[in-house]
Amino acid sequence: MWRRLEPGRCTRPADGTGGPDPAGEWADFALAAPVMLVRDGEDAPCRPVGDPVSLADWAGGRRRLHGRAPTVADVDLHLSTLWPPVRMRGFLEVRVLDAVPAAWWPGLAAVVAAVVDDDRAADAAAAAAEPVAHRAADAARLGLADPALARAARGVLAAALPAVPTGLRGAVEAWAELTAAGRGPADLVLDRARRSGPTACLTAEELR
């Protein structure tokens, strides 16, 4: 849904090709994205841009917005309107982490931190994920029902587990057990909905 909503802002930089220059890929993505809002002054209201004008065209003088060139504040505002799955903000904002029930956040965050910060875990996770690196749309639709995606998920978890802090190991092991069973948090939500009705999914503190 996000990819279809606004491909220029919501797709992965370089379509997630994992090239050697991720910062350059991010810059290219940001420059090519259409400008959504312009604000003439710090206290002025944001005004929408009706025509598709990329930041590159505005900064390069090929198009003018509000009769002027962009400022640093304009670039900062533009960057805040980009919503790829992972966004650079001086840190990596992984936007999908909050899509799981709250009880599952710690383990998922631990896995992400491990495969980003630990070189050995990063290499092993990259090798596990490489066969499905270009199948993000399939992953969203099919999840662990797809054998190749399921293998990749198990491989990433196995790569992360040795690098996870002791206090979070149990949370990651719970993910590994759920994934090994071919299930994910969405299955737990559906189980609770069938058992207790949809309202129970909104009020439950934990889904185990």
Q: What is the tens place of the pLDDT at every residue in 28-43?
A: 999 999 999 999 887 8
Higher-confidence residue of 95 and 74: namely 74
The yes-or-no verdict on residue 16 having pLDDT over 60 is: no
For residue 207, the model assigns a pLDDT of: 59
* Torsion angle of the four alpha carbons 179, 185, 188, 192, in this order, in degrees rounded to the nearest 10: 180
Q: How confident is the model at residue 205 (pLDDT cuts 50, 70, 90)?
A: low
User: How many CB atoms are closer than 10 A to CB 147?
Assistant: 10
For residue 122, the model assigns a pLDDT of: 96
**Whole-number percent of the chain with pLDDT over 90:** 56
Structural contact between residues 125 and 159, judged by C-beta atoms closer than 8 angstroms: yes
The yes-or-no verdict on residue 206 having pLDDT over 90 is: no
2-6's contacts with Cβ under 8 Å and 24+ in sequence apart are 2/83, 2/85, 3/137, 6/83
Q: Among residues 49, 69, 73, which one has the least CA distance to residue 60?
A: 69
pLDDT (average), residues 135-151: 92
Q: Which two tokens stand for residue 106?
A: 């710690």
Q: What is the tens place of the pLDDT at every residue in 167-201?
A: 999 999 999 999 999 999 888 888 989 998 888 87
Distance of alpha carbon 28 from the chain centroid: 18
Higher-confidence residue of 5 and 203: namely 5
The yes-or-no verdict on residue 4 having pLDDT over 60 is: yes
